Structure 1
Amino acid sequence: MAVLSFTLGWSLFTTNPPMRAHLMLAMNPEQSFEAGLQAIAAGFGCSGDGR
């Protein structure tokens, strides 16, 4: 569910021209999307005790 929510939210923000322009001031949307997916995937591997 986390990946679906992240992807849907990301697509809504990046397909909105004013929001995309705002996001591009702070980050590269393509690189940031990949980093976000990697962070979610890393969280799936977490045992819950910080490892």
Structure 2
Amino acid sequence: MIRFEVIDNQLTAIIGAQISPVGGYIGSFHITYQFENGMYEGTKIEFVHSD
């Protein structure tokens, strides 16, 4: 599942990461976008580990 949020005035896609279809959630990828040249471009990708 992909969730979009505005974090620090930047569009961010949050994508959950798991190691198997029945569980094993390990964290999420946060992809930050910036609006340039009439379109959104990904500028940063980071993995946020689940505690």
User: Into which bin does the TM-score normalised by the smaller protein fall?
Assistant: under 0.3
More strand by share: 2
Structure with the bigger RCO (C-alpha within 8 Å, sep 6+) is 1
TM-score normalised by length of structure 2: 0.18
